């Protein structure tokens, strides 16, 4: 494992001290632990290492910390675990779009009945994502709503938390090779709807463009829907119409337009990509939709505000936040032994960028 949680084993010495002394009854329920300074001196480690050990012990329910008063063996009797005071939503800056506020609003709507407030945290990298979560655990967060930084990062970190029975609700996608509580959109149906719409409009050579820098599961699901719609229509799948792993989407646009049979329509994995493709086509004097039709995914405001409004697939971000908060509260109060996964429906928003083709390209 390469995550930060494994990089420094010195903290385990401090953890072993506490656990061994509890087992031998040298430390009993309610006993105060030595100070951070004393533990650091005893084991010749930094105070940061000691703090890390104390956080791990608190996650395991072995100790509790009282701000300004130190750490104690056992559970804080004054703290009622069933009381929900705040719910953190953690979403990296790279994943937040201008409709993510609807996720927050949905969560706030559900949590208002519990007098619980939402806190927002935006890590800049996977390491900061870990640091924020560990810090919030130390502040007695009972559950997290998380849009992961990337699907292939912090996998072991999240697995470690789940093995310790710490409740997490993921939104949009799960880390790779992972199972857990999830609220997401029906990305496969969305990919199918977008492609079927283009087919119904008379387009036949349909490309699929995505940013392959971070291929999240939701991207692959949209691609699966795209391929299924082509197969259903009896149109052979052309791998040349896909983004290549080494390409940015602007490189893909340049490449596919020089193919012997260039595409007459493009399905972009999201609206940010669609707007980028739109700008490239406009720069090169390509007419939309006469030369190439264009559709995106997400229904961001920016897609509707282009000179030629871009068709899209709409996700219900408000319901995503509402459902995630609902699952989070259930995890805290009922502690179910199974994972809950909600797949929310999507809908087609047709606009000018996919107006009916003048002729069918066979």
Residue 295, pLDDT score: 98
Name which of 133-137, 182-186, 196-200, 339-343 the model is least confident about.
133-137
Q: Please determine, for residue 79, whether its predicted confidence score (pLDDT) is greater than 80.
A: no
Convert the pLDDT of each residue in 298-351 to its tens digit: 999 999 999 999 999 999 999 999 999 999 999 988 888 789 999 999 999 999
- Band (pLDDT 50/70/90 cuts) for residue 214 is low
Mean pLDDT in residue range 159-169: 88
Could you tell me which residues are beta bridge partners of residue 123?
A: none
User: How far apart are the C-alpha atoms of 74 and 122, rounded to whole Å?
Assistant: 32
Residue 224, pLDDT score: 95
User: Which of 66, 9, 69 lies closest to 43 in space, CA to CA?
Assistant: 9
Q: Please determine, for residue 58, whether its predicted confidence score (pLDDT) is greater than 80.
A: no
CATH class of domain segment(s) 187-315+348-354: alpha beta
Q: Please determine, for residue 94, whether its predicted confidence score (pLDDT) is greater than 70.
A: no
User: How far apart are the C-alpha atoms of 155 and 148, rounded to whole Å?
Assistant: 10
Pairing mode, if any, of strands 181-185 and 341-344?
parallel
Task: Say which residues have a Cβ less than 8 Å from residue 271's Cβ, sequence separation at least 6.
Answer: 97, 296, 297, 298, 299, 300, 302, 303, 310, 312
Residue 8, pLDDT score: 45
Mean pLDDT in residue range 196-223: 88
Convert the pLDDT of each residue in 24-56 to its tens digit: 778 888 888 888 888 888 888 888 888 888 877
Q: Please determine, for residue 72, whether its predicted confidence score (pLDDT) is greater than 90.
A: no
Residue 49, pLDDT score: 84
User: How far apart are the C-alpha atoms of 56 and 137, rounded to whole Å?
Assistant: 9
Percent of the chain with pLDDT over 90: 49
Percent of the chain with pLDDT over 70: 90
Question: How is the chain split into domains, by residue range?
Answer: 4-73, 86-184+317-345, 187-315+348-354
Q: Please determine, for residue 226, whether its predicted confidence score (pLDDT) is greater than 80.
A: yes
Is CATH 2.130.10.10 the classification given to domain 4-73?
no
Residue 211, pLDDT score: 73
Residue 36, pLDDT score: 86
Architecture of domain 86-184+317-345: 3-Layer(aba) Sandwich (3.40)
- Band (pLDDT 50/70/90 cuts) for residue 7 is very low
Could you tell me which residues are beta bridge partners of residue 120?
A: 89
Mean pLDDT in residue range 123-148: 89
- Band (pLDDT 50/70/90 cuts) for residue 59 is low
**SS3 state at 36:** helix
User: How far apart are the C-alpha atoms of 160 and 150, rounded to whole Å?
Assistant: 17
Judge whether 86-184+317-345 and 187-315+348-354 match in fold.
yes
* Secondary structure letter of residue 27 according to DSSP: S
- Band (pLDDT 50/70/90 cuts) for residue 215 is low
Convert the pLDDT of each residue in 227-242 to its tens digit: 999 999 999 999 999 9
Residue 153, pLDDT score: 87
Mean pLDDT in residue range 264-277: 94
Q: Please determine, for residue 184, whether its predicted confidence score (pLDDT) is greater than 70.
A: yes
Cis bond upstream, residue 289 (ω within 30)? yes
CA angle 180, 12, 154 (to 5 degrees): 30
CA angle 78, 79, 84 (to 5 degrees): 150
The chain-wide mean pLDDT, for the chain, equals 86
């Amino acid at each position: 494992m390469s995550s930060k949680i494994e990089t420094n084993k010195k903290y385990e010495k401090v953890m072993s001290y506490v656990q061994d002394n509890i087992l031998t009854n040298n430390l009993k329920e309610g006993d105060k632990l030595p100070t951070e300074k004393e533990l650091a001196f005893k084991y010749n480690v930094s105070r940061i290492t000691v703090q890390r050990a104390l956080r791990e012990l608190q996650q395991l329910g072995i100790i509790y910390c009282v701000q300004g008063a130190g750490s104690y063996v056992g559970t804080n009797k004054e703290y009622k675990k069933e009381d929900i005071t705040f719910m953190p939503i953690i979403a990296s800056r790279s994943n937040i779009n201008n409709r993510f506020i609807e996720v927050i609003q949905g969560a706030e709507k559900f949590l208002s009945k519990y007098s619980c407030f939402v806190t927002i945290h935006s890590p800049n990298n996977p390491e900061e994502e870990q640091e924020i979560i560990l810090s919030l655990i130390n502040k007695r967060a009972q559950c997290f709503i998380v849009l992961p930084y990337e699907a292939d990062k912090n996998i072991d970190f999240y697995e470690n938390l789940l093995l310790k029975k710490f409740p997490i609700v993921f939104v949009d996608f799960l880390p790779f090779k992972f199972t857990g509580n999830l609220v997401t959109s029906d990305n496969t149906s969305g990919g199918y709807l977008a492609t079927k719409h283009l087919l119904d409009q008379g387009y036949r050579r349909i490309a699929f463009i995505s940013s392959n820098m971070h291929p999240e599961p939701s991207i692959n699901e949209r691609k699966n829907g795209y391929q299924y719609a082509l197969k259903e229509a009896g149109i052979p799948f052309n791998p040349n119409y896909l983004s290549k792993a080494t390409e940015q989407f602007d490189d893909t646009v340049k490449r596919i337009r020089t193919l012997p049979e260039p595409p007459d329509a493009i399905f972009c994995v999201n609206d940010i990509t669609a707007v980028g493709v739109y700008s490239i086509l406009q720069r090169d004097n390509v007419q939309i939709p006469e030369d190439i039709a264009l559709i995106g995914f997400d229904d961001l405001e920016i897609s509707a505000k282009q000179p030629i409004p871009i068709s899209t697939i709409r996700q219900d971000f408000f319901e995503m936040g509402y459902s995630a908060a609902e699952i989070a509260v259930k995890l805290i109060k009922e502690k179910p032994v199974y994972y809950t996964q909600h797949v929310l429906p999507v809908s087609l928003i047709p606009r000018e960028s996919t107006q009916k083709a003048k002729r069918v390209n066979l």
